[in-house]
Structure 1
Amino acid sequence: MSDPIHVVCPQCDAVNRLAQQRLRDAPVCGKCAQALFAGQPLEVDSARFTKHVARNDLPVLVDFWAPWCGPCKMMAPHFAQAAAQLEPAVRLLKVDTERHQELSARFAIRSIPTIALFRGGSEIARQAGAMDARGIAAWVQAQLPHG
């Protein structure tokens, strides 16, 4: 039996402990009873970003984007499709760099869209430019040991 992992609820941000083998069993939050995985990226502000990146034992993929960015708009449905493919192994977040400029400054985001992969609270890889769902999923899997 594997060690339990921590998964932050996308609804109430409670930190849940669950056995890794239960990830694909449609687990629900112990606090709000909502699904821990919806197959959709989660829009976050600075506080929620910090909690999800720091407290999730899962890798976290973040899309840094802006509403005025054409390539960002083109990539948005692909990022959502990638969420459906990658969850529950990876949590996907979206950060609007216009509304949350402190996050784009903190991570020195120079072009958008940029995706960044975090594990254990630290950034482990980043890629600038629009990608399709297959490209996003393949890039993430290439960055993570054990696929």
Structure 2
Amino acid sequence: MNAPYETAQPSRAELDALRGPTLVEFGTNWCGICKAAQPLIGEALAEAPTTLRHLKVEDGSGRPLGRSFGIKLWPTLIFLRDGQEIARLVRPDNAAAIREQLAHIVGRAA
């Protein structure tokens, strides 16, 4: 989970067109809260199926993708299934909550 947030961003239309489960993680590489959340996110993703797509997107002023989702705090996790937002977690503080939302987008009970 030490992969950096990517500065290159897909468009909202590209995300909306994705099929299957996707976790979009908004944050920045310098954000302390984002860094603190990485072990929790990693723990939850360790049990996720390989069909799950995980995108780490750098957010900030002038970043259109984050604005299209109304991101205000980091990290924010957006859980998508077939391009539709199913749930979101803002500043997650436990792996169980992340796992629960992942279960919803991959189509199995938590």
Q: TM-score range by the shorter chain?
A: 0.7 to 0.9
TM-score, scaled relative to structure 1 = 0.57
Q: Distance in 2 between matches of 1:43 and 1:59?
A: 19
Alignment length (residue pairs): 108
- Structure 2 partner of 1:114: 76
Q: Distance in 1 between matches of 2:13 and 2:42?
A: 21
Give the share of equivalent positions with the same residue, in percent: 28
Uncovered stretches (5+) of structure 1, i.e. residues with no partner: 1-38
Query: Where do 4+ consecutive residues of structure 1 move more than 4 Å?
Result: 39-44, 48-53, 142-145
Contact 2:4/2:29 (8 A) holds in 1: no
Query: Superposition pairs for residues 27-106 of structure 1, below 5 Å?
Result: 43-44=5-6, 45-47=8-10, 51=14, 54-55=17-18, 57-98=19-60, 101-106=63-68
Q: Distance in 2 between matches of 1:86 and 1:40?
A: 17
Residues 42, 72 of structure 1: alpha-carbon distance in 2 compared, 3 angstrom cutoff? closer
- Structure 2 partner of 1:20: none
Query: Superposition pairs for residues 11-22 of structure 1, below 5 Å?
Result: none
RMSD: 3.1
Residues 135, 125 of structure 1: alpha-carbon distance in 2 compared, 3 angstrom cutoff? closer
Uncovered stretches (5+) of structure 2, i.e. residues with no partner: none
Residues 69, 134 of structure 1: alpha-carbon distance in 2 compared, 3 angstrom cutoff? same
1:62-117 C-alpha deviation (Å, 9 max, x unpaired): 11112332211101132223222113242221111138722111111011111111
1:17-76 C-alpha deviation (Å, 9 max, x unpaired): xxxxxxxxxxxxxxxxxxxxxx99795432388646623x32101111123322111011
Is the radius of gyration larger for structure 1 or structure 2?
1
TM-score, scaled relative to structure 2 = 0.73
Residues 70, 86 of structure 1: alpha-carbon distance in 2 compared, 3 angstrom cutoff? same
